[in-house]
Structure 1
Amino acid sequence: MSNFMLKNYNYHVWANHRVFARLAELPEETVHQELKDVFPSIHAGLVHMYRVDWVWLSGLKGSSFEEIRSQTVKIVEKMAGMTLKELEAAFIELAEDCQNFLSGVEDVQGTIRFPHPILGVLATNINEVIQHIVNHGTYHRGNISSMLRQLGHAGASSDYVFYLYEVNQVK
């Protein structure tokens, strides 16, 4: 397994934790407040982030497009009424599932095919899928910080360099 890939994924988990920690400092209704932005609310943005992480992990584990599509509808419905704490617990559980999966992978460069009924077949590898998950999360954490600013609150600081400072602290 690639140490860089795992470190990159661990950054993703750390950054999501930073967002949840920031949101926990604010009134619960903040995450449900309606906005005219990329997402109608911060809650909707978090559900989207979770769903995409879940989709890719399911694909890596071998689920078909049809299986994934049918399950994502149920996931979105289930998460619609979740509190911030419940959402965070779901993110933590999914991250642990992904980390367990990744720890068992021997060849992160081996070709994996993801057939899609409209886009065709994506031939890629686990390393690139994890890079996509991290990039996608970074993009939407930025959206959430922007949404928080619109609501009069500071966003969460989740830049990669802050992660590096935290994990590389000399004791």
Structure 2
Amino acid sequence: MNNQAVQLYDYHTWANKRILEHVKNLQQEIYNKEAQGVFPSVSEALTHIYLMDALWLSVMSGDSFSTSIELLQQLSETTRGKSVHEMETAFLTLSERYKAFFEHKQNLDEAFSIEHPHFGRLETRLSELIQHVVNHGTYHRGQVTDMLRQLGHSGVSTDYVFYLYEKGRS
């Protein structure tokens, strides 16, 4: 198993948890309040991170493109209008599914291919897809921080180095 990929995912889980905890401590209306950005609200951005994390776990598990898209559509319906507390539970459950996937896989650096109807075939490794999931989340957590600042609130630091410091103290 690629310990670096698993550690990166652990960081991703830590960073998502920090953002969710921070947002829970703000006024409830901030979660759904409209802001300027790629997403119309903090809730939409966090839901997008969750949905894409679920999609990529489906892909890495070997599901077909159509099965993964069906899952995405189903989860889009079930997450619509969820509170920050409900999304926190959804993120936690999904991270447990990722951990079970990691435990099941002997080698996250093994060759892996994805077939996409528009982009074609991609030869990669599971560890690279995990890095993509983490990078994607980092990008959107930055957007959440920007939206919070627009709404008059501070963000919370989710830099990787702070994860390392916290992990080192544990």
Q: TM-score range by the shorter chain?
A: over 0.9
TM-score of the superposition, structure 2-length normalised? 0.97
Q: Which runs of 5+ in 2 are unaligned?
A: none
Amino acid at match of 1:66: S
Structure-1 separation of matches of 2:128 and 2:14 = 19
* 1:169 matched residue in structure 2: 169
Q: Provide Cα deviations, 1:45-86, integer angstroms capped at 9, x if missing partner.
A: 011101110111001111110011112111111111211100
What's the counterpart of residue 105 of structure 2?
Answer: 105
Equivalence for 2:56? 56
Q: 1:14-49: per-residue Cα shift (whole Å, max 9, x none)?
A: 000000110011112111011221101111101110
Q: Once the two structures are superposed, what CA deviation does each residue of 1:87-125 show, in whole Å capped at 9, x if it has no partner?
A: 000000000100111122111121111111101011111
Q: What code does the residue aligned with 2:167 have?
A: V
- In the alignment, what sits opposite 1:117? 117
Instruction: Give SS of 1:168's match.
Output: helix
RMSD of Structure 2 on Structure 1 (CA) = 1.0
Matched, 1:94 2:94: yes
Q: Once superposed, which parts of structure 1, at least 4 consecutive aligned residues long, lie more than 4 Å away? A: none
SS where residue 54 of structure 2 aligns? Answer: helix
- Inter-partner Cα distance in structure 2 for 1:71 and 1:109: 26
Unaligned runs of 5+ in 1: none
Determine the structure 2 residue equivalent to 1:68.
Answer: 68
1:29 paired with 2:29, answer yes
Q: Distance in 2 between matches of 1:99 and 1:124?
A: 20
Identity value in percent:
41
Whole-angstrom CA distance in 1 between matches of 2:169 and 2:36: 40
